Structure 1
Amino acid sequence: MQQTNTVVETETQLPLGWRERLSPSKLKTIPGRYNLPRMFSHSSKQMRESGPNPTRSISALQTSFKITDTFELLRTRKWSLFDVQYLVLAGFTIFSLWIIDPSAPIIKTLAAVGYLSLLFIPITRQFFLPSWSIWTYLLYFFSSRFIPYDIRPDILVKVLPALEDILYGVSFSNVLSAWTHPVLDLFAWIPYGIGHFGLPAICSVIMFIFAAPGTLPMFAKTFGWMSVLGVSIQLFFPCTPPWYERLHGLEPAKYGMQGSPAGLARIDALFGIDMYTTSFTTAPVPFGAFPSLHAADAILEALFLTYCFPKLKGLCLFYVCWICWATMYLNHHYAVDLLGGGIIAYSFFAVVRKYWLPIQQPGKTYRWEYEYVEIGATKKNKTLDEELGYGPVGAVKRSANLSDEFTVLDSFMHSGSSSGSSSPTSSTRSDKSDRRRD
């Protein structure tokens, strides 16, 4: 018995330090790079509500049809100056619906109800809210035909040709469109008549699957706002395109004159159908040559794709050059129009990339592999609570509803103060705050 006591006493006196190393105070000092990403740091209840894999909330989607969920989100939201964007979009939407032919009150009412339904039902809001600017642009563009002629500015006929001579010494559009051939017509038609309308959807699908969560929503917002600005410039600074110079010379232009499909008329003749003649003849903005949204859209798509997938840089550059050539060959834009569209596209992208665009993480192929996101050139680490504008009170209650990339997308317009970190490399700061609370 005495020998046993001696053995026990000897073991407890061994200088291994295992008790100190396993104490809770020591375990809390493990470097953050060895810890799992702390997506929710407010309570253990929140972790249980978010399911066995809380990081899945970054890439999952909303499936709720309850409008009350939207009202609850609005009630707990942390509003910021950037939310003025929604007031502006609402203003453009109301203006566009108001100027449409007054004899269509039923259509206006149905359109307003449809807009509100898409915005307030969670399962549709997650798609419609980030792309709201795109739908506003389309409504704004097609309804602009109803703006009274007497309040519009004069149409500028000589400005763009003069700028062409000053900047380049020659009109590239007139030179490139001087000689035509059916093969060249088809080659120009592919990007201008098909790619311009279909490529935004293709890019969206690619970014949704393979880019970091939140990239697609920022692309949609940027695309829509850039287009709204482009149409506004075309309305306040109306200029005649190259086809007008070819048909009417430098004669003054008047509102009410028909547009022209220009080179696309040869495509209709080639296929024996009316794909472009009627639509371009009755275009809402026939004198919207500057800036070229064909060039702006292609350049913006190329910038986003090369940011997410650098290996596609050569392909994107080829497509931009291709569509720029097509716009001039088909006699729809001057080279200065392409320059204006490119400047606008790059300006929007540069701002979004610096402040709100999620950063691609090496080794991540699909959006579902992301456990956290860093946004902007400054690599700000955002928790989902912070991105959605929730404080510590609302976060626990709504943790299960944070599984919506298209709601999180809206978060990237906010830069509120940090309430935690979703990055493994920054969880040490949270550890220190936990020790102070203990």
Structure 2
Amino acid sequence: MQQTSTVIETETQLPLGWRERLSPSKLKSIPGRYNLPRMFSRSASSRAKQPMRETHPTKSLATLQTSFKITDTFEILRTRRWSFLDVQQLGVATFMIFSLWIIDPSAPFIKGLVASAYLVLLSMPITSQFFLPSWPIWTYLLYFFSSRFIPFDVRPGIFVKVLPALEDILYGTNFSNFFSSWTNPVLDLFAWLPYGLGHFANPLVCSIIIFIYAAPGTLPIFAKAFGWMNIVGVTIQLLFPCTPPWYERLHGLEPAKYGMQGSPAGLARIDALFGIDMYTTSFTTAPVPFGAFPSLHAGDAILFAFFLTFCFPRVKAFCIFYVCWICWATMYLNHHYAVDLLGGGIIAFSFFWVAKKFWLPRPQSGKKYRWEYEYVEIGDQKKNKTLDEELGYVPVATDKRSIDYADEFTVLDSFMHSASSSGNSSPASPASPTSSSRSDRSDRSSRSSRSSRRMD
């Protein structure tokens, strides 16, 4: 009886396991540092807590809130993931309530109207998406104009000699008296442009420029830094009241008292030149006539210069010129000492440095308009050259966030772009271990079926 031997032809199995590593099921579970769709996510914990979502920048206008229902805002607040940075909203609310409380009690209608307007604007989604990021600015304005109602008996004493003494110690001379000692109509107009016009128009102009040309998310950070810097500045002026240079020129070093009228100083010449009352009445009845230190005219201009220079380095020379221009104007018009400008500059730099380090989106070369950004990089990151960067990949730890252009206006993404304000940018998620094992079993079954067919 002849014996036949059956030879079963099988595939050669290499010990390196290269086929398993290159199989589709394995490729889906590439480590996060080499996985391109995952490199835009913030961390593994955020991916586990938040569902995946796909962003559509071209559909951003459709994602703007158009609802007038207050219940929608309550639902957003109920599902919001709160962070430590949300404490700032409590601070803004505190200043707002304080400002409304100190307003003359004989005007309950005005107080109630203002409070109702604030609540309505914050409660309706269609208005809160615009009003909430700029809330510190509106609170600053209310805080500044209502400070006139603070009782005189609870205010600190007015310092008359401190600023002139600091001026002599730091600079050896009084720059305000030096620049304002010789005047003429041409110089008056040249000083009036930045001090009397530019100071009030620049916030709107800078906001429009930043919104169109800077990285998405820059405008809310700019608005919050501007609002909070002015709130802090007015608070310092109330707690540390000092007389400006025009008081020294009119009254010398005599003690100052609350209730004394302010003065337009050099701006009175502008009213006389045009024959109108543009500044005389407003400065005479100013809410904070003894708020010389710090100079918010200088602080605002320096803050604008920092933001514009960061977003558009090519305008650095113009920003330096404008800051020097308005600083000279404040002293020429006899409104501030040079030490006031130093104080305003320190406050502006402090707010910009904090915003730049933690929350300000970094501009990208080659991007002219905000709509050209596919992602933003937040804050300062130490760039250490690694193998991932050499190969063209970016570590997962790098703080990159996908762009939803409506985020700049929504309630959730206006809180300083906190850790809970951005979803995952990847439309695909890595394969789970179950799917991987299922793919391995399918590969083994396909190999066994091929072996059976060959054996037949």
TM category (shorter chain) comes to 0.7 to 0.9
TM-score (norm 1): 0.83
**2:64 partner amino acid:** L
Aligned to 1:119: 122
Report the CA distance shift for 1:60/1:289 in structure 2 as closer, same or farther (over 3 A).
Answer: farther
Instruction: Find 1:381's aligned residue among 375, 399, 407.
Output: 399
Aligned to 1:272: 275
Task: Report the number of matched residues.
Answer: 402
Does the 8 Å CA contact 1:131/1:221 hold for their aligned counterparts? yes
Does the 8 Å CA contact 2:159/2:242 hold for their aligned counterparts? yes
Name stretches of at least 5 consecutive residues in structure 2 with no aligned partner: 1-8, 13-17, 383-397, 436-456
Aligned to 1:410: 414
Does the 8 Å CA contact 1:59/1:404 hold for their aligned counterparts? no
How far apart, CA to CA, are the structure 1 residues paired with 2:284 and 2:135? 28
The alpha-carbon deviation at position 372 of structure 1 amounts to 1.9
**1:155 partner amino acid:** I
Identity of aligned residues (%): 68
Moved more, 407-416 or 101-110: 407-416
Does the 8 Å CA contact 2:69/2:125 hold for their aligned counterparts? yes
Report the CA distance shift for 1:59/1:160 in structure 2 as closer, same or farther (over 3 A).
Answer: farther
TM-score (norm 2): 0.80
Aligned to 1:282: 285
* Structure 2 SS opposite 1:135: helix
For the pair shown, the structure with the greater C-alpha radius of gyration is 2
How far apart, CA to CA, are the structure 2 residues paired with 1:131 and 1:180? 39
What are the residue-to-residue correspondences of 1:16-415 with 2, within 5 Å?
23-26=24-27, 29=30, 31-33=34-36, 53=56, 56-57=59-60, 61-378=64-381, 380-381=398-399, 383=401, 403-407=406-410, 409-412=413-416, 414-415=418-419
* Structure 1 SS opposite 2:327: helix
Does the 8 Å CA contact 1:37/1:371 hold for their aligned counterparts? no
The alpha-carbon deviation at position 86 of structure 1 amounts to 1.2
Aligned to 2:6: none
Report the CA distance shift for 1:178/1:75 in structure 2 as closer, same or farther (over 3 A).
Answer: same
Does the 8 Å CA contact 2:70/2:123 hold for their aligned counterparts? yes
Query: Pairwise CA RMSD of aligned residues?
Result: 3.3
Which deviations, in whole Å up to 9, do the C-alpha atoms of 1:21-76 show, x marking residues without a partner? 57343355494448896799789x975xx68x367549963333222221111111
Report the CA distance shift for 1:163/1:382 in structure 2 as closer, same or farther (over 3 A).
Answer: same
How far apart, CA to CA, are the structure 2 residues paired with 1:57 and 1:436? 35
Report the CA distance shift for 1:253/1:148 in structure 2 as closer, same or farther (over 3 A).
Answer: same
Name stretches of at least 5 consecutive residues in structure 1 with no aligned partner: 1-8, 388-400
The alpha-carbon deviation at position 415 of structure 1 amounts to 3.6
Report the CA distance shift for 1:33/1:282 in structure 2 as closer, same or farther (over 3 A).
Answer: same
Does the 8 Å CA contact 2:40/2:401 hold for their aligned counterparts? no
**1:412 partner amino acid:** M
Report the CA distance shift for 1:36/1:56 in structure 2 as closer, same or farther (over 3 A).
Answer: farther
How far apart, CA to CA, are the structure 1 residues paired with 2:308 and 2:63? 22
Aligned to 2:395: none
How far apart, CA to CA, are the structure 2 residues paired with 1:332 and 1:419? 45
How far apart, CA to CA, are the structure 2 residues paired with 1:159 and 1:347? 23
Does the 8 Å CA contact 1:177/1:330 hold for their aligned counterparts? yes
How far apart, CA to CA, are the structure 1 residues paired with 2:304 and 2:426? 29
How far apart, CA to CA, are the structure 1 residues paired with 2:41 and 2:380? 22
* Structure 2 SS opposite 1:326: helix
How far apart, CA to CA, are the structure 2 residues paired with 1:149 and 1:105? 21
Does the 8 Å CA contact 2:217/2:417 hold for their aligned counterparts? no
Does the 8 Å CA contact 1:21/1:27 hold for their aligned counterparts? no
Does the 8 Å CA contact 1:137/1:225 hold for their aligned counterparts? yes
How far apart, CA to CA, are the structure 2 residues paired with 1:328 and 1:199? 20
Aligned to 1:391: none
* Structure 2 SS opposite 1:373: strand
